[in-house]
Amino acid sequence: MFERMKRIQNNMQVRLLGRVPQRWLGAALLAGGLLSGCGLQKDVDVELPAYPPQLVVECYLEDGRLPQALVSETVAYLSAPAPSVLTDVTVLLTGPTGQVDTLRFQPGQNNGSRKVYTHRGRRRLSIRPGDTYRLDVRDTQGRRVTGSATMPATVPIDTVEWQFNDKPGDARRALVLTKFRDPAGSADYYRFQVHRSNVGNNPEAEYFPDDRLLDGQAVTLGTGYEFEEQDTLFVTLYHLDQPYYRFLRSIDDAQSANGNPFGQPAAVQSTVEGGLGVFAILNYQRRRFIVR
Amino acid sequence: MVRFFSFRFALATWLLLMPLAVLAQTTYLLRGTVRGTDGTGLPGANVAVPRLGLGTATDPEGRYELSLPAGRHAVQASFIGYQSVTQDITLRANQQLNIVLPTGGTELQEVVIQGSGTLEQKLQTTQMGVERVTAREAKLLPALFGEVDILKTLQLKPGVQNGGEGTSGLFVRGGSADQNLFLVDDAVVYNPNHLFGLFSTFNSDVVQSVDLYKSGFPAQYGGRLSSVVDVKLREGSRDSVGVSGGLGLISSRLAVEAPIKKGKGSFIVAARRTYFDVFTRQINKLNEDDPEYNPIPDYYFYDLNLKANYQLTDKDQVFVSGYFGNDVFGFNSTRGFNFDFSWGNRSATGRWSHVFNPRLFTNTTATWSYYTYQIQNKLDQFSFGLGSNIRDYNLRSDWEWRPEGGKHVVRFGGSATLHHFGVGRLQAGATDGSLNIGQDVEYDGQEGGLFAADNYSVTDKLAVDYGLRLTGFRSGRNDYGGLEPRVAARYTLSPKTTLKASYALMYQYVHLVTNSGASLPTDIWYPSRLSVKPQRSQQVSAGVSWLLAGGHLLLTDEVYYKWAQRQIDFRDGAQLFVNPELDAEFLFGRGWSYGNEIYLEKKDGKTTGWLGYTLAWTKREFEPQRGTNGINGGRAFFPTYDRRHNLTLVLLHKLNPRINLTGSFVYTSGNPTTLPAARIGVQDVFGHDPQVVPIYPDRNSYRLPSYHRLDLGVVYKLKPWRRLGGESDLTLSIYNAYNHRNPYFIYIDEVKDKETKQVIRYRARQVSLFPVIPSLTYNFKF
């Protein structure tokens, strides 16, 4: 429960502000033991509304890397969790110069990120802020998903600091402060993560701030006192475009709405058209340091 | 925005008929009050002249008015639980007659059933679509955790839906949660709920009665589309000091009343507080040395009520009334994380009533209302605060004039309100000053209304109540206004059968910003401004009433159709908190509802109660707009409070002078909800923790199973206290007596293999909120 609350707290501080209070109410109600432990839950048979399968695309481009895309389709929620691979899909990637690359159907898993993909390009991309790419996904059933993404501007991290609390011995912990300056005059969206030891792990802290209240100002993002001496930390600041930011928030909302009687309806806000999913170009700054 | 053609006929009729008020001059007006010996006004008491077959019922403050021909009359006043009184008068002019009724024995007043006058009077009144519940009724009925809640008693009436298991929210004839006007002694209450809606803010010890208007709204009411819930608080005894209260499962109550000057004025002070926190704090204290222990959050709520009245002269009376209530939720972790959340209402009312003469009197009322919520949390050196509030100052003047002839009752007046909307306040900071941001989003609004109405007895068989209300609202440079015609008519087919019909147009200038489908403490009130135009609704209703079984039963059948424009909802993913451009998050659409309400009630004898059945449909439609697909692509859908069938049966049986048995049964169709239909997997930037993301189909495309529940209760009167002359009772309530697992919500869960931790299947889980809950409450009065 504490971890759940802490995560919500983290979100509350910087998301400024979404449906968090409703989540709190749901969490409070559940925490009150009103629902659990009294035999008040049971399995039920439900006939969920029909939902025709739609193509789902997940594709993140990065400068200097091979383009990879995962194409799948929606499945009925209560169906068995059997993996299925669509073999009749064509993926085209168009660069800022108009050059079109066909990503080959080559299912695999990236060793570094552990990400699964179905389609992969043959050459590494060279992307600069402001470059726009287009994605075109088609299958033999006539389904087509399209999307375009522009690389956001680089927002550099100015400083990363850590401070220890006054507690002795084993209770001594450090917090991390990350400072950067928000570009003035534009709506900017961020994703901030702090990983311990490896960026492939779940982040210790993660926020999704925007600059609605901080336009053009120096921004400080912090964590609680939760890091020990000699911890190796990675601080990552993603600068996001609005569609990708909305997609990230919407998948969070969609998950929260399942099981929260106070949750608002939450459709996934895809960045692509004709189906579901996300097509985005990543631009992030990362710092690695050891707390000491 | 004013559609003149829609009310032209009503306006013309009103102007034509108004001069008729000065015709016929054959009767005089008898008016006054009916009080108990302790000076408390008795609402719903009968005042009649049996020889003439004329009678009326007292209003919530115990006042009555009766038009009688000149001459000698025997005026009889009666009220169940009190001895009847007959007084002879000679009427040569308009006259004041105040009547005092002695109590009728040793019964606890609270265990006497009393409704709004007799069924005969209910048959004859022009007003339709109104329900009255007294605290006495509510106190007899079984209640969740033994907490008497007058709003939940209203939910047992036809046409009224609740907001979910155990909640006090009201959804009236297809209206949303924000379309109810809650008034306590004329002060607006913006959030009448405690504990996320499980209990209302109305302490039954001080509530005299509640009137719920569902249609045919009198012209003095305005500002909300769907209902008016008019709560009147009790006046203290003008005769002697009294103390009453109760000890319950989750809260205790205490009320003290006393005369300010005997026979002239009185006051009552009442308090209520829950005490879960007393126990949870002790548990936390016992475990404070355990580093793995997560403290139980603190929660309590309390209410304070004060009301005082004083008769300045025979013609002048004043009262003041105040309410202060809070909910407090706190979580203090040993790991540096604190969360405090509080919300509450405050209100104050001052009223001066002046009788110019028996035909003309006025009420001048000033009210102040305030609702706020605050969230404060802290994680180590970072703090975060979020809040919202709404504050109203209101001044209103109501006049009533009864011209000679006794065929007209003319009411007119006006009101002005200053609103302040603290839509959002955010503060975030760090103790070392490295972070300090804040934002306030605030608006002001001015709302005004003028009204005039005439209740005209056209013939012995036909009575018409027609009126007009002119309203306006200003917020910044945005001005809105409109005319609201109101018409109600009653035609007597026979002494035991009447036909009734009504029409009302309503505007609503303030809107609740909520995306949860329920009324929550964090909901924000927002004025009409920019793209957010006033909501508007019109309702027509018609019905027939039959007096059956020699006048012991009243059967009413009403049909209604309501249509509303500029209904509000919000885009998916809307930013509702501290958003200076909140109006861009709204979606606008239309709504309509229709249904048939059948109501059979019995108010006298050892067994009383009612049977209600409602067949209703409610729909809303939000077309594609503002870069969105609207809601469900513009297709009409059922909101969460749509219920096809609703059946309620309430029975109260007086077994003997010391034991009352009560029971209520509720059956409703399941409410629409949104369940995910499909799922997708999202890997995110890193593939180490792929997530299953639910995909939702059309909003509210699934309907939960039906809901049914039986509650039982026993009120056992204990022997009187010899020394103090006091009385007490034990009230046993059994909520959900046959322990039915009613659906609260359904979610989809994943089932994992215990060893591999891999998801092997998905399942639907139904969550219920309350099993059978017995509770015992001890009530006393001396």
pLDDT digits (tens, 9 = 90+) for B343-394: 999 999 999 999 888 788 899 999 999 999 999 888 777 788 889 999 999 9
Picking from A11, A25, A225 by the largest number of B CB atoms within 10 A of its own CB, the best residue to mutate is: A25
The answer on pLDDT for B20 being more than 50 is no
What pLDDT does B117 receive?
54
Res. B60 pLDDT band, cuts 50 70 90? low
How is residue A280 written in tokens?
A: 């985005």
- Domain borders along chain A are 51-150, 157-290
Report DSSP state, residue B142: -
- Chain B residues inside the 8 Å CB shell of A269: 572-573
Where does the pLDDT of residue B516 fall: very low under 50, low under 70, confident under 90, or very high at 90 and above? low
pLDDT band at B80 (very low <50, low <70, confident <90, very high): low
Angle between helix axes A2-15 and A20-31 (nearest 10 degrees) is 170
pLDDT at A136: 98
Residues of B whose CB is below 8 A from A175? 380-381
- Nearest-Cα distance to chain A for B327, in Å, is 13
Structure-token pair, residue B32: 């006054």
Are A40 and B741 an interchain contact pair (Cβ–Cβ within 8 Å)?
A: yes
Is A75 within 8 Å of B766 when comparing Cβ atoms? no
Question: What CA–CA distance (Å, rounded) separates B170 from B151?
Answer: 8
Question: CB B745 to CB A200 under 8 A?
Answer: no
Q: Is B67 within 8 Å of B134 (Cβ atoms)?
A: no
Q: Which chain A residues are Cβ-neighbours of B329 within 8 angstroms?
A: 28
Q: Which 3 state secondary structure label does DSSP give A213?
A: coil
- In this prediction, residue B238 carries a pLDDT of 85
- Judge: A262–B768 Cβ closer than 8 Å, yes or no: no
Chain B residues whose CB is inside 8 A of the A276 CB are: 680, 695
Res. B518 pLDDT band, cuts 50 70 90? low
Which residues, including other chains, have CB under 8 Å from residue B603's CB and lie 6 or more apart? B113, B115, B118, B119, B554
- ipTM, 2 decimals? 0.88
* More reliable by pLDDT, B205 or B559: B559
**B766 vs A1: CB contact, 8 Å cut-off?**
no
Whether B764 sits inside 8 A of A44 (CB atoms) is yes
Please name the residue of chain B whose CA is at the shortest distance from the CA of residue A166: B380
Decide which of B225 and B37 is more confident: B225
| Contact in structure between A269 and A246 (CB atoms under 8 Å) | yes
Which residues does chain A have within 8 Å of residue B521's beta carbon, measured at their own beta carbons?
25
Report the chain B residue with the minimal C-alpha distance to residue A267: B696
A46/B746 touch (CB, cutoff 8 Å), yes or no: yes
| pLDDT tens digit sequence for B622-665 | 999 998 889 999 999 999 999 999 999 999 999 998 999 999 99
Flag if B765 and A266 touch (Cβ within 8 Å). no
- DSSP lists the bridge partners of residue B535 as B508
Task: Name the residue of chain B whose CA is nearest to A55's CA.
Answer: B680
Report the chain B residue with the minimal C-alpha distance to residue A222: B382
Cβ–Cβ gap B676/A177 under 8 Å = no
**Pairing relation of β-strands B316-332 and B95-96?**
unpaired
| Cα–Cα dist B641/B593, whole Å | 11
Å between A192 CA and nearest CA of chain B: 13
B430, B694, B759: residue with CB nearest A255: B694
Between B95 and B160, residue with greater pLDDT: B160
pLDDT mean over B430-453: 84
A287 CB burial (10 A radius; 0-12, 13-18, 19+) = middle
B689 contacts A40? CB cut-off 8 A: no
Contact B769 A78 (CB under 8 A): no
Q: Which of B337, B680, B745 minimises the CB distance to A276?
A: B680
What is the β-pairing status of strands A276-281 and A205-207?
unpaired
Given this model, what pLDDT does residue A133 score? 98
Contact check, Cβ <8 Å, B695/A35: no
Among A92, A95, A94, A96, which residue's Cα sits nearest to residue A105? A92
CB-defined contacts A:B, below 8 A: 264
Answer whether B671's CB lies under 8 Å from B616's CB.
no
Higher-scoring residue by pLDDT: B431, B318: B318
Task: Show residues of chain B in contact with A21, CB under 8 Å.
Answer: 375, 386, 520, 522, 577
Residue appearing with tokens 């469900």: B632
Is the C-alpha dihedral spanning A20, A25, A28, A34 positive or negative?
Answer: negative
- Compute the average pLDDT of residues B93-110: 66
Nearest to A114 among B196, B688, B693 (CB): B688
Closest CA to B355 of B290, B295, B400: B400
Distance from CA of B505 to the nearest CA of A (A): 31
- The closest CB to that of A249, out of B331, B573, B688, belongs to B573
Using CB atoms, which residue from A19, A74, A80 is nearest to B515?
Answer: A19
CA–CA dist B624, B635 (Å, integer):
9
Cα separation, B305 vs B184, in Å, equals: 11
Question: With bands split at pLDDT 50, 70 and 90, how would you rate the model's confidence at B411?
Answer: very high
Gap from A98 CA to chain B (nearest CA, Å):
26
Nearest to A251 among B574, B693, B748 (CB): B693
Among B696, B702, B741, B769, pick the best mutation site for testing chain A contact (most A Cβ within 10 A): B696
Residue that is written with structure tokens 């206290």 in the block: B721
How many angstroms separate the CA atoms of B558 and B539, rounded? 12
Average pLDDT taken over every residue of chain B: 87
Helix (H, G, I), strand (E, B) or coil at B430: strand
Q: How far is CA B201 from CA B174, B293, B372, B735, in A?
A: 23, 34, 14, 20
Which tens digits make up the pLDDT trace of B289-326?
A: 777 777 788 899 999 999 999 999 988 999 999 999 99
Contact B514, B485 (CB under 8 A): no
Are A186 and A172 in contact, with CB atoms under 8 Å apart? no
Per DSSP bridges, beta strands B99-101 and B27-36 are: parallel
Q: How far, in Å, CA of B38 to CA of A42, rounded? A: 54
**Omega of the bond leading into A17 within 30 degrees of 0 (cis):** yes
Of A18, A46, A224, the CB nearest to B336: A224
Least confident piece of the model among A4-18, B87-101, B213-227, B606-620: A4-18
* Radius of gyration, alpha carbons of chain B: 27
Is the pLDDT at B594 greater than 90? The verdict is yes
Residue A289 buriedness (CB in 10 A; 0-12 / 13-18 / 19+): middle
Higher model confidence: residue B414 or residue A9? B414
Nearest Cβ partner of B578 from A17, A74, A175?
A: A17
Who among B683, B695, B698 is closest to A58 (CB)? B683
Domains A51-150 and A157-290 share a fold: yes
pLDDT < 50 positions in chain A: 1-37
Locus of tokens 């099993």? B771
Q: Predicted confidence band at B26 (pLDDT cuts at 50, 70, 90)?
A: low
Other CB atoms within 10 A of residue B222 CB: 26
Residue type for A196, please? R
Q: CA of B771: which chain A residue's CA is closest?
A: A40
Interchain proximity B747–A276, CB inside 8 Å: no
Partners of A265 on chain B (C-beta within 8 Å) are 515, 572, 674, 696, 699
Q: What is the pLDDT averaged over residues B90-111?
A: 66
Please judge whether A42 and B761 are an interchain contact, meaning their C-beta atoms are less than 8 angstroms apart: no
Determine the pLDDT at residue B380. Answer: 72
Q: Which among B30, B95, B34 is positioned nearest to B61, based on CA atoms?
A: B34
**Domain range A157-290, CATH architecture:** Sandwich (2.60)
Q: Which residue of A has its CA nearest to B514?
A: A264
Q: What one-character-per-residue DSSP string does B44-71 give? A: T-EEEETTTTEEEE--TTSEEEEEEESE
- Is the Cβ pair B516, A49 closer than 8 Å? no
Q: What is the band of B555 on the pLDDT scale with cuts at 50, 70, 90?
A: very high
Q: Do A259 and B747 touch (CB under 8 A)?
A: yes
Q: What is the mean pLDDT of residues B183-188?
A: 95
B95 is written with which tokens?
Answer: 């006259």
**Alpha carbon of B692: minimum distance to chain A alpha carbons (Å):** 8
Report, as an integer, the average pLDDT of B136-140: 83
- CA distance, residue B433 to nearest chain A CA (Å): 10
Work out the minimum CA distance from B513 to partner chain A, whole angstroms: 12
What's the confidence (pLDDT) of residue B69? 83
Cβ distance of B578 and A16 shorter than 8 Å: yes
Give the closest-approach CA distance of A39 to chain B in angstroms: 9
Nearest Cα residue in chain A from B760 = A81
Q: Which residue of A has its CA nearest to B522?
A: A21
Fold of A51-150: Immunoglobulin-like (2.60.40)
Query: What pLDDT digit, counting tens, does each position of A15-54 carry?
Result: 333 344 444 444 444 444 444 445 689 999 999 988 999 9
